[in-house]
Structure 1
Amino acid sequence: MSTTANTTAKFSRVNDEELQKVFNQFDANKDGKISVSELRDVLKAMGSRYSEDELKRVLEDIDTDKDGLIDLSEFSTLCRSSSDEVTAALEMRDAFDLYDQDKNGLISKKELHLVLNRLGMNSSVDDCARMIKSVDSDGDGNVNFEEFQKMMSASLMNSDIGSKP
Structure 2
Amino acid sequence: MSERLTKDQLDAFKVGMRQNDQNGSGVIATSDIPTVIAALGYTIPESEIASILYELDPDESGVVNMNSFFGMVSEKLASHTTLEQVKMLFNSMDRNGHGYISVDELRFITQAIGVNVTDSEIKLMVETLDIDGDGKVNFDEFATLFKHI
Shared fold (TM-score, shorter chain, > 0.5): no
Greater relative CO (CA pairs within 8 A, separation 6+): 2
Bigger helix fraction: 1
Structure with larger Rg: 1
TM-score (norm 1): 0.40
TM-score (norm 2): 0.43
